[in-house]
Amino acid sequence: MGEYSTLELTPEQSAKTRLVDGIATDGDIELLGDVDVSAAVSLRDDLRWALLQSDAPSIAAQVMARVGAVGADVGGVVRDEAGLEDAVVASVMGRLGVDEGVGSQLRGALVQEAGSAPSLWAEIAPSVGAEAPMSLGDMLRGAVTEEVGNDFVPSPWFAPQRNRWAMGAAAGAVFAAAAALLLYVGLAGGGDQVAEATMGPLLEAPVDIEELDAGDNQAVQVLQFGSEAPTIILIEDIDGEAP
Amino acid sequence: MAMTDQERGSGGLPPDDPDALMIQAVLDGDPEAYRVVVERYERRIYYVVYGMVRNPEDARDIAQDAFVKAFQNLHRFRLESKFYTWICRIAMNLSIDHLRKRKHRNHAEFDDMRGGSDGAQVVRLHSKRDDPSENVSRRRMFKTIMDAVDDLPDDQRQVLVLRELEDMPYKEISEILGIPEGTVMSRLYYARRRLQKVLAEHRPS
């Protein structure tokens, strides 16, 4: 394809080509006279019809996932970045006094139900004054370390002390991310209990959890992690239980 | 991620070009803006690629590859240019690469079959196409047209697809394919003449 064919057209052939394409000049029309191009025009219609027989699939989601702009597997990111392997999860949960099964449920719920979710981090980071290049894993590690305080002795999976310059912001970012994730996932069938049971002990910082009356079809919880952290509102639609 | 105009070789944003605005946003660090561009052109690119490769799955994959490749090279895109022309060129190049590989494969299959085969196996190479239309006569027409398009040289098929499917001006086709406008017209003329001849032969008397 590097070379192109050099077949030159006669003036009549060029004029006819332009006429078929509907861009004939006065000179073309004068040159061609009463030439009939209806067959060529008909061919154009048939060809277009034939080429459009296949339904065009939407590829935007796949493209965006491949370029890494969206479709981030949030559950996977949290797990991979924080190194949440089974043994580690068991160790951490045991240390925090949380039933391993509950932790597994939450992790399973995140992995299974989060699936492809819009990327939250890029939007959250600037709003809390954090730097986007800092990975979510680093933020998570730093935030957990900060929030649980001195009573908690980090396990080896907590990497060596990271930058502590923005731990407060990190905490806010991670909890906002967690809340947004939970809102997105819309944990079904007891997922809110899993979240409360798991996140509450994990934080150990002052946490106010308040249930709001939101009618029969919704469960609303308001979580406040200290005065500096953002307020998190969990809303769950209760489907299929109403008569 | 943000780049200066000098770095990207641009003289600045062309006014009222929604593509340029979106691409500038991507270059400034908002990759999600690329979705707008993809959604704007995905159907057109798919059909262009389909016109070249004639296989829905291959067309979908190649169209995806084209958008991904464009994203990865977005910093090289000149904002004063038309994005569609650029993505179309990428898609065409990928289509041609694909056709070359497919030809190599088909030649290999052909040679394998020739070793101990009868003619029937060879015929199958040319008959495994998807025919979406259920109407028999239209299906026959569809097959005849597309087989004729298949038989065109790749360079003529490129021009034909861009012109007939996209209604693209000669100048834009010449920019996409990197050939003079006269060559565009020439290829178009001979492609049409060839198709007309084939279809005339198949037309019921």
In this structure, are residues A140 and A84 in contact, taking their beta carbons and an 8 Å threshold?
Answer: no
pTM, full prediction: 0.52
**How many angstroms separate the Cα of A140 from the Cα of each of A150, A210, B26, B186?**
17, 24, 27, 63
pLDDT digits (tens, 9 = 90+) for B98-128: 998 887 776 665 555 444 433 333 333 333 3
In this structure, are residues B140 and B148 in contact, taking their beta carbons and an 8 Å threshold?
Answer: no
Per domain, the residue ranges of chain B are: 1-128, 129-205
Interchain proximity B34–A67, CB inside 8 Å: yes
Per-residue confidence in pLDDT tens, chain A, 243 aa? 444 445 789 999 999 899 988 899 999 988 988 888 888 888 888 888 888 877 888 899 889 988 886 544 444 444 555 555 555 445 544 554 444 444 445 455 544 554 544 454 555 555 555 555 555 556 555 655 555 555 444 443 333 333 443 344 445 555 555 555 555 445 444 445 544 544 544 455 556 666 666 666 666 666 666 555 656 666 666 654 433
Interchain proximity A43–B192, CB inside 8 Å: yes
Please check whether residue A17 touches B, CB under 8 A. Answer: yes
- What are the chain A neighbours of B130 within 8 Å (beta carbons)? 54
Q: Residues 51 to 90 of B: which have CB under 8 A from any A CB?
A: 51, 56, 59-60, 63-64, 67-68, 71-72
Interchain proximity B50–A54, CB inside 8 Å: yes
Fold of B1-128: Rna Polymerase Sigma Factor; Chain: A (1.10.1740)
Residue with the larger pLDDT of the pair A220 and B78: B78
Enter the CATH code of domain B129-205. 1.10.10.10
Reported ipTM: 0.70
- Identify the pLDDT of residue B54: 86
Interchain proximity B132–A53, CB inside 8 Å: yes
CA angle A98, A102, A107 (to 5 degrees): 115
DSSP H or E run through A230: none
Distance from C-alpha of A117 to C-alpha of A115, rounded to nearest angstrom: 6
